[in-house]
Structure 1
Amino acid sequence: MPFVSKDNPLAVSVIKAIRTGDVPSLRRMLAENSGLVTSRIAGINDECSSKGESRTLLHIATDWPGHFPNNAATVAALIEAGAEVNARFNGPHSETPLHWAASCDDIEVLDMLLGSGADIEAPGAVIAGGTPLDDAVAFAQWRAAHRLIEHGARFALWHAAALGLLDAMEAHFAGISLSQRYPWGAGHPSPPDEVTVAFWCACHGGQQHAAEYLLDRKADLNWIAVWDGLTPLDAAKRSNAADLAEWLRGLGAKSAKELG
């Protein structure tokens, strides 16, 4: 698989075509340059280049903030030309294009990738090395998270709480265990209680009914998350869940700053 510098004129042109939705030019370059569709672009900015990072053209098409013009047609053209839908980012994580589409809430592209064989359970996320669903929930990309579950993605209690899936939560506590994936990753020296984590995630997702359900099951109202230093109240405020934040305040919830 050839590596191409981001400063290479062909790389500059193909990146521009992808980001501007110029599908005819993209198709022409792919047809005229054998191996381009499977090439890796070495870095995109100077910092990445210095770290030896590289990504595929599908990664460029699904990169943040996503939703580039004609993005579905662009992704279709890349896949038709032979792009590998499960290719990995080369760097501090190993995310696939599906991870990136999920992180951008790009439903149309997400559906296209899954329809073309993308691994819905691919590990490697920036969130604890997890799946595309882990990214979607952590980054509050709710449409993508729900869509992944519709496609059959396995989910844990914290995902269900963040998405307000009360039936799944009730089934879990009735003894039908959900996936045992955790947002802090494997090997944490002292994993927090899963109910408290799920409660925090419910607040992150603005899901008051889920939060009430979990608080009744002894969740810690003022737990400070190990990944971003926020309490459930902080998470609700960040998500602009004003009614939930007011309800939490009424119960005595505090911010991390107040607890500091």
Structure 2
Amino acid sequence: MLAAAPDLAICVLVDEKGAGRSLLHVATDWPGHFPNCRETIALLAQAGADPDAGLADSPVDAFEKPLHWAASSDDVEAIDALLDNGADIEASGAVFTGGTPMSDAVVFAQWRAAERLLARGAVTTLWQAAALGLYERVRELADSATEGDLTSALWHACRGGQRATAELLLDRGADINWIGFMDWTPLRAAKESGNKGLVAALEKRGAK
């Protein structure tokens, strides 16, 4: 099909809200994990599709790239295919933060995607490192962090079930009872993670 109509690789599909997306967005759309996605992504990229094309005229996702979508779906195969075909691992445009695909992976608790991005060379911020249990990275970044940054990172550490980074952040002054995303406290996030040791450690420190 692409051989007969090569312009398909660079076409933009417009939805009922007027937002345009590339075929690489379609290949990585929620819920992801589509059959033959690696081959599909490679064929589109080789035919001229831009792996770093953002959405067009979208009021919410204006700059999300296909790699952001793959990360949001925990689609490791699509992540590898996009990176192998030139996608920028540090591209901006995440839906809530404006950040990288790593941001989407951590925000949506897509841990396999986050680990694969890390293995492929993604840089982590304080809160992302905390969620992934990267103790030395957290210690490095915590030295220059504000109390608000430490507290946000604590929340993400708890959501990721990471006791060591959570306790490090508490020792640095993070607010143990801050209410974050979904109106969860760090304790609630820890309970959702399933790490009973972390839950007990938080409760011992007065978490509510």
TM-score normalized by the length of structure 1: 0.73
Return the offset for 1:140.
Answer: 0.9
- Per-residue CA deviation, residues 8-49 of structure 1 (Å, 9 max, x unaligned), is xxxxxxxxxxxxxxxxxxxxx222224111111112xxxxx1
Pick from 32, 38, 51 the counterpart of residue 4 of structure 2. 32
Give the counterpart letter for 1:204 in structure 2: R
Report the counterpart of residue 192 of structure 2 in structure 1: 238
CA distance in 2, matches of 1:121, 1:249: 37
Report the counterpart of residue 95 of structure 2 in structure 1: 126
- Asked if 1:59 corresponds to 2:25, the answer is yes
CA contact (8 A) 2:6 2:47 kept: no
CA contact (8 A) 2:73 2:110 kept: yes
Return the offset for 1:228.
Answer: 3.2
Give the counterpart letter for 1:219 in structure 2: A
CA distance in 2, matches of 1:70, 1:243: 40
Return the offset for 1:85.
Answer: 0.6
Report the counterpart of residue 102 of structure 1 in structure 2: 71
CA distance in 2, matches of 1:155, 1:252: 29
Size of the aligned set, in residue pairs, is: 205
CA distance in 2, matches of 1:75, 1:115: 10
Report the counterpart of residue 84 of structure 2 in structure 1: 115
Report the counterpart of residue 121 of structure 2 in structure 1: 152
- Per-residue CA deviation, residues 114-147 of structure 1 (Å, 9 max, x unaligned), is 1221111211110221111110111111122122
Report the counterpart of residue 161 of structure 1 in structure 2: 130
- Asked if 1:202 corresponds to 2:157, the answer is yes
Percent identity of paired positions between Structure 1 and Structure 2: 53
Residues 170-181 of structure 1: matches in 2 within 5 Å?
A: 170-173=139-142
- Per-residue CA deviation, residues 51-74 of structure 1 (Å, 9 max, x unaligned), is 211211110111111111121112
2:13 is paired with a residue whose SS is strand
* Structure number, greater radius of gyration: 1
Report the counterpart of residue 3 of structure 1 in structure 2: none
Report the counterpart of residue 205 of structure 2 in structure 1: 251
CA distance in 2, matches of 1:192, 1:147: 29
Report the counterpart of residue 36 of structure 2 in structure 1: 70
CA distance in 2, matches of 1:56, 1:146: 26
Any stretches of 5+ residues in structure 2 without a counterpart? Answer: none
Cα–Cα, structure 1 residues 76 and 165, in superposed 2: closer, same or farther, change >3 Å?
A: same
Any stretches of 5+ residues in structure 1 without a counterpart? Answer: 1-28, 44-48, 181-190, 255-260
Residues 7-18 of structure 1: matches in 2 within 5 Å?
A: none
Return the offset for 1:192.
Answer: 5.8
1:200 is paired with a residue whose SS is helix
CA distance in 1, matches of 2:6, 2:151: 53
CA distance in 2, matches of 1:104, 1:243: 28
CA distance in 2, matches of 1:147, 1:69: 20
Give the counterpart letter for 2:55 in structure 1: F
Give the counterpart letter for 2:7 in structure 1: G
1:222 is paired with a residue whose SS is coil
Give the alignment's Cα RMSD to 1 decimal: 2.0
CA contact (8 A) 2:147 2:174 kept: no
Give the counterpart letter for 1:168 in structure 2: R
CA distance in 2, matches of 1:70, 1:139: 24
Give the counterpart letter for 2:9 in structure 1: V
